[in-house]
Amino acid sequence: MTATTNITTKPLTGRVAVVTGASSGIGEACAEHLAQLGARVAVLARRADRLDELVARIGKNGGTAVAIAVDVTDAAAAHAAAGRVAAELGGADLLFNNAGVMLPAPIEELAVDQWQHQIDLNITGLMNVIGAFIPQLVTAAGESGVADLINTSSIAAQNIFPNFAVYAATKAYVTHLSRHLRVELGAKHVRVSAIEPGIVATELQSHVTDEGALQWLAGSRETTEWLTAQDLAETVGFIAALPPRANIQQLTIMPTGQPS
Protein backbone atom coordinates (compact mmCIF):
# COMPACT_ATOMS: atom_id res chain seq x y z
CA MET A 1 0.00 0.00 0.00
CA THR A 2 2.82 2.38 0.89
CA ALA A 3 4.63 1.78 -2.39
CA THR A 4 1.47 2.38 -4.42
CA THR A 5 0.76 5.61 -2.56
CA ASN A 6 4.31 6.81 -3.16
CA ILE A 7 4.05 6.20 -6.91
CA THR A 8 0.73 8.00 -7.07
CA THR A 9 1.69 11.06 -5.04
CA LYS A 10 5.32 11.30 -6.14
CA PRO A 11 5.35 10.41 -9.84
CA LEU A 12 8.83 11.86 -10.43
CA THR A 13 10.56 9.68 -7.83
CA GLY A 14 13.93 8.56 -9.19
CA ARG A 15 14.22 11.40 -11.67
CA VAL A 16 16.77 14.22 -11.70
CA ALA A 17 15.52 17.66 -12.71
CA VAL A 18 17.56 20.73 -13.66
CA VAL A 19 15.86 24.12 -13.38
CA THR A 20 17.44 27.30 -14.70
CA GLY A 21 16.37 30.74 -13.56
CA ALA A 22 15.63 29.08 -10.23
CA SER A 23 16.39 31.97 -7.87
CA SER A 24 12.91 33.50 -8.22
CA GLY A 25 9.52 33.31 -9.88
CA ILE A 26 8.61 30.40 -12.12
CA GLY A 27 11.94 28.64 -11.73
CA GLU A 28 11.86 28.79 -7.94
CA ALA A 29 8.27 27.55 -7.75
CA CYS A 30 8.98 24.82 -10.28
CA ALA A 31 12.03 23.54 -8.39
CA GLU A 32 10.01 23.24 -5.20
CA HIS A 33 7.11 21.53 -6.97
CA LEU A 34 9.29 19.02 -8.82
CA ALA A 35 10.97 18.15 -5.52
CA GLN A 36 7.53 17.62 -3.96
CA LEU A 37 6.76 15.24 -6.83
CA GLY A 38 9.82 13.19 -5.91
CA ALA A 39 12.57 14.48 -8.22
CA ARG A 40 16.03 15.36 -7.02
CA VAL A 41 16.58 18.90 -8.26
CA ALA A 42 19.59 20.94 -9.37
CA VAL A 43 18.76 24.65 -9.18
CA LEU A 44 20.74 26.99 -11.43
CA ALA A 45 20.87 30.81 -11.39
CA ARG A 46 23.32 33.62 -10.71
CA ARG A 47 22.18 34.54 -7.17
CA ALA A 48 23.88 31.99 -4.93
CA ASP A 49 22.26 33.26 -1.75
CA ARG A 50 18.75 32.80 -3.15
CA LEU A 51 19.64 29.31 -4.37
CA ASP A 52 20.97 28.33 -0.96
CA GLU A 53 17.71 29.47 0.66
CA LEU A 54 15.74 27.46 -1.89
CA VAL A 55 17.80 24.30 -1.33
CA ALA A 56 17.36 24.64 2.43
CA ARG A 57 13.61 25.03 2.02
CA ILE A 58 13.37 21.99 -0.25
CA GLY A 59 15.41 19.96 2.22
CA LYS A 60 13.24 21.08 5.13
CA ASN A 61 10.22 19.79 3.22
CA GLY A 62 11.83 16.37 2.69
CA GLY A 63 13.26 16.90 -0.80
CA THR A 64 16.77 16.81 -2.25
CA ALA A 65 18.31 19.75 -4.11
CA VAL A 66 21.72 21.03 -5.16
CA ALA A 67 22.50 24.71 -5.77
CA ILE A 68 24.76 25.63 -8.68
CA ALA A 69 25.47 29.33 -9.14
CA VAL A 70 25.94 29.91 -12.87
CA ASP A 71 25.45 32.54 -15.54
CA VAL A 72 23.92 30.57 -18.41
CA THR A 73 25.19 33.08 -20.97
CA ASP A 74 28.65 31.61 -20.24
CA ALA A 75 28.87 28.35 -22.21
CA ALA A 76 31.82 27.03 -20.22
CA ALA A 77 29.98 27.67 -16.96
CA ALA A 78 26.90 25.85 -18.26
CA HIS A 79 29.01 22.82 -19.17
CA ALA A 80 30.69 22.92 -15.76
CA ALA A 81 27.25 22.92 -14.15
CA ALA A 82 26.29 19.88 -16.20
CA GLY A 83 29.42 18.16 -14.95
CA ARG A 84 28.40 18.81 -11.37
CA VAL A 85 24.91 17.44 -11.98
CA ALA A 86 26.41 14.28 -13.45
CA ALA A 87 28.86 13.88 -10.57
CA GLU A 88 26.51 14.71 -7.69
CA LEU A 89 23.13 13.47 -8.93
CA GLY A 90 24.01 10.96 -11.65
CA GLY A 91 22.85 13.04 -14.61
CA ALA A 92 19.65 14.84 -15.57
CA ASP A 93 16.57 13.35 -17.21
CA LEU A 94 14.44 16.51 -16.93
CA LEU A 95 15.56 20.00 -17.95
CA PHE A 96 13.32 23.01 -17.38
CA ASN A 97 15.01 25.74 -19.42
CA ASN A 98 13.51 28.82 -17.83
CA ALA A 99 16.09 31.61 -17.44
CA GLY A 100 15.02 34.73 -19.32
CA VAL A 101 14.45 38.47 -19.29
CA MET A 102 11.81 40.83 -20.73
CA LEU A 103 12.81 44.40 -21.61
CA PRO A 104 10.21 46.00 -23.90
CA ALA A 105 10.81 49.38 -25.51
CA PRO A 106 9.92 51.14 -28.78
CA ILE A 107 12.36 50.06 -31.46
CA GLU A 108 13.10 53.69 -32.30
CA GLU A 109 14.63 54.21 -28.87
CA LEU A 110 17.54 52.06 -30.10
CA ALA A 111 17.96 50.37 -26.71
CA VAL A 112 20.76 48.26 -28.13
CA ASP A 113 22.07 47.07 -24.77
CA GLN A 114 18.61 45.80 -23.85
CA TRP A 115 18.22 44.10 -27.22
CA GLN A 116 21.52 42.30 -26.69
CA HIS A 117 20.73 41.33 -23.11
CA GLN A 118 17.49 39.65 -24.21
CA ILE A 119 19.21 37.85 -27.08
CA ASP A 120 22.10 36.75 -24.86
CA LEU A 121 19.89 35.31 -22.13
CA ASN A 122 16.73 34.19 -23.94
CA ILE A 123 18.49 32.64 -26.94
CA THR A 124 22.21 32.15 -26.31
CA GLY A 125 21.71 31.15 -22.68
CA LEU A 126 18.99 28.71 -23.72
CA MET A 127 21.30 27.13 -26.30
CA ASN A 128 24.20 26.94 -23.86
CA VAL A 129 22.10 24.97 -21.40
CA ILE A 130 20.69 22.69 -24.10
CA GLY A 131 24.21 22.04 -25.37
CA ALA A 132 25.45 21.26 -21.88
CA PHE A 133 22.65 18.90 -20.84
CA ILE A 134 21.37 17.22 -23.99
CA PRO A 135 23.91 14.36 -23.75
CA GLN A 136 22.59 13.56 -20.27
CA LEU A 137 18.97 13.66 -21.43
CA VAL A 138 19.65 11.34 -24.36
CA THR A 139 21.57 8.91 -22.17
CA ALA A 140 18.86 8.92 -19.50
CA ALA A 141 16.12 8.36 -22.09
CA GLY A 142 18.02 5.42 -23.50
CA GLU A 143 18.25 3.86 -20.07
CA SER A 144 14.79 4.57 -18.67
CA GLY A 145 12.66 5.20 -21.76
CA VAL A 146 11.91 8.89 -21.18
CA ALA A 147 13.54 12.29 -20.59
CA ASP A 148 12.11 15.79 -20.83
CA LEU A 149 13.33 19.09 -22.23
CA ILE A 150 10.82 21.80 -21.34
CA ASN A 151 11.47 25.34 -22.58
CA THR A 152 9.77 28.51 -21.35
CA SER A 153 8.49 30.55 -24.26
CA SER A 154 5.70 33.14 -24.10
CA ILE A 155 2.34 34.03 -25.63
CA ALA A 156 4.39 36.83 -27.21
CA ALA A 157 5.78 34.17 -29.55
CA GLN A 158 2.33 34.06 -31.17
CA ASN A 159 0.65 37.41 -30.62
CA ILE A 160 1.56 41.04 -31.30
CA PHE A 161 2.41 43.33 -28.40
CA PRO A 162 3.60 46.84 -29.38
CA ASN A 163 7.11 47.65 -28.14
CA PHE A 164 7.82 43.99 -27.29
CA ALA A 165 9.35 43.18 -30.70
CA VAL A 166 12.78 41.96 -29.59
CA TYR A 167 11.46 40.01 -26.60
CA ALA A 168 8.71 38.47 -28.73
CA ALA A 169 11.22 37.50 -31.39
CA THR A 170 13.42 35.72 -28.83
CA LYS A 171 10.41 33.76 -27.60
CA ALA A 172 9.33 32.87 -31.14
CA TYR A 173 12.82 31.40 -31.48
CA VAL A 174 12.23 29.28 -28.37
CA THR A 175 8.92 27.91 -29.64
CA HIS A 176 10.16 27.13 -33.13
CA LEU A 177 13.39 25.60 -31.85
CA SER A 178 11.39 23.38 -29.52
CA ARG A 179 9.27 22.06 -32.38
CA HIS A 180 12.37 21.17 -34.39
CA LEU A 181 14.14 19.56 -31.45
CA ARG A 182 11.07 17.46 -30.76
CA VAL A 183 11.42 15.94 -34.25
CA GLU A 184 15.13 15.28 -33.71
CA LEU A 185 14.91 13.91 -30.20
CA GLY A 186 11.52 12.22 -30.01
CA ALA A 187 12.83 9.07 -31.67
CA LYS A 188 15.41 8.92 -28.86
CA HIS A 189 12.63 9.13 -26.23
CA VAL A 190 13.43 12.72 -25.26
CA ARG A 191 10.18 14.65 -25.10
CA VAL A 192 10.44 18.34 -25.99
CA SER A 193 7.81 20.83 -24.91
CA ALA A 194 7.39 24.59 -25.15
CA ILE A 195 5.25 26.39 -22.59
CA GLU A 196 3.79 29.72 -23.73
CA PRO A 197 2.41 31.59 -20.70
CA GLY A 198 0.44 34.77 -20.74
CA ILE A 199 1.21 37.30 -18.01
CA VAL A 200 2.66 35.71 -14.88
CA ALA A 201 3.25 37.69 -11.68
CA THR A 202 7.04 37.37 -11.20
CA GLU A 203 10.16 39.54 -10.96
CA LEU A 204 10.12 39.77 -14.77
CA GLN A 205 7.93 42.86 -14.68
CA SER A 206 10.30 44.63 -12.26
CA HIS A 207 13.04 44.62 -14.91
CA VAL A 208 10.94 46.69 -17.32
CA THR A 209 12.12 50.30 -17.70
CA ASP A 210 9.95 51.57 -20.58
CA GLU A 211 7.21 53.87 -19.24
CA GLY A 212 4.65 52.85 -21.85
CA ALA A 213 5.12 49.15 -21.09
CA LEU A 214 4.94 49.82 -17.35
CA GLN A 215 1.63 51.64 -17.79
CA TRP A 216 0.26 48.78 -19.91
CA LEU A 217 1.30 46.21 -17.32
CA ALA A 218 -0.23 48.26 -14.50
CA GLY A 219 -3.50 48.57 -16.39
CA SER A 220 -3.53 44.85 -17.09
CA ARG A 221 -3.02 44.01 -13.43
CA GLU A 222 -5.96 46.20 -12.44
CA THR A 223 -8.34 44.41 -14.79
CA THR A 224 -6.98 40.84 -14.94
CA GLU A 225 -5.96 38.28 -12.35
CA TRP A 226 -2.50 37.24 -13.55
CA LEU A 227 -1.14 33.72 -13.46
CA THR A 228 1.08 32.78 -10.53
CA ALA A 229 4.44 31.05 -10.60
CA GLN A 230 2.77 28.08 -8.92
CA ASP A 231 0.37 27.75 -11.87
CA LEU A 232 3.37 27.28 -14.15
CA ALA A 233 5.10 24.93 -11.72
CA GLU A 234 2.08 22.64 -11.69
CA THR A 235 1.97 22.77 -15.49
CA VAL A 236 5.61 21.66 -15.73
CA GLY A 237 4.97 18.89 -13.22
CA PHE A 238 1.97 17.69 -15.21
CA ILE A 239 3.98 17.54 -18.45
CA ALA A 240 6.85 15.64 -16.82
CA ALA A 241 4.54 13.14 -15.11
CA LEU A 242 2.76 12.04 -18.28
CA PRO A 243 3.29 8.45 -19.47
CA PRO A 244 6.39 8.14 -21.69
CA ARG A 245 4.20 7.63 -24.79
CA ALA A 246 2.66 11.12 -24.38
CA ASN A 247 4.41 14.39 -25.31
CA ILE A 248 2.79 17.82 -25.11
CA GLN A 249 4.52 19.64 -27.93
CA GLN A 250 3.28 23.11 -27.07
CA LEU A 251 1.12 24.36 -24.22
CA THR A 252 -0.37 27.85 -23.99
CA ILE A 253 -1.55 28.85 -20.52
CA MET A 254 -3.26 32.20 -20.12
CA PRO A 255 -4.92 34.20 -17.36
CA THR A 256 -8.61 33.62 -17.82
CA GLY A 257 -9.21 37.34 -18.30
CA GLN A 258 -6.28 38.06 -20.64
CA PRO A 259 -7.72 38.38 -24.15
CA SER A 260 -4.48 37.85 -26.10
pLDDT tens-digit readout, 201-259: 987 787 788 888 888 888 888 899 999 999 999 999 999 999 999 999 999 999 999 99
- Which residue segment(s) compose the domain that 69 sits in? 2-253
pLDDT of amino acid 174: 98
Whether 6 shows a pLDDT value over 50: the answer reads no
With 0.85 as the threshold, say if the pTM is over it. yes
Q: What is d(CA 71, CA 89) in angstroms, rounded to the nearest whole number? A: 20
Whether 86 shows a pLDDT value over 50: the answer reads yes
- Would you say residue 258 lies in a domain? no
Mean pLDDT of 81-90: 98
Whether 7 shows a pLDDT value over 70: the answer reads no
Catalytic (active-site) positions: 167
- Would you say residue 117 lies in a domain? yes
Residue 154: how many other CB atoms lie within 10 Å: 28
Residue 142: how many other CB atoms lie within 10 Å: 12
Whole-angstrom Cα Rg for the chain: 18
Q: What angle do CA 197, 198, 203 make, to 5 degrees?
A: 85
- Would you say residue 260 lies in a domain? no
Residue 160: how many other CB atoms lie within 10 Å: 9
Whether 153 shows a pLDDT value over 50: the answer reads yes
Q: How many structural domains is the chain composed of?
A: 1
- Would you say residue 174 lies in a domain? yes
pLDDT of amino acid 9: 80
DSSP letters spanning 97-115: E---------GGG--HHHH
pLDDT digits (tens, 9 = 90+) for 90-148: 999 999 999 999 999 999 999 999 999 999 999 999 999 999 999 999 999 999 999 99
Say which CATH number the domain at 184 has: 3.40.50.720
pLDDT digits (tens, 9 = 90+) for 170-211: 999 999 999 999 999 999 999 999 999 999 998 778 778 888
Quick check: 53 and 108 in contact, CB under 8 A? no
Straight-line distance from the first to the last Cα atom of the chain, in angstroms, rounded to the nearest whole number: 46
pLDDT digits (tens, 9 = 90+) for 8-61: 689 999 999 999 999 999 999 999 999 999 999 999 999 999 999 999 999 999
pLDDT of amino acid 8: 60
Quick check: 244 and 145 in contact, CB under 8 A? yes
Residues listed for the chain? 260
- Would you say residue 259 lies in a domain? no
pLDDT of amino acid 214: 83
Residue 151's φ and ψ, nearest 5 degrees, are -110, 135
Collapsing DSSP to helix, strand or coil, 67 comes out as: strand
Mean pLDDT of 77-92: 98
Quick check: 165 and 123 in contact, CB under 8 A? no
pLDDT of amino acid 173: 98
Whether 5 shows a pLDDT value over 60: the answer reads no
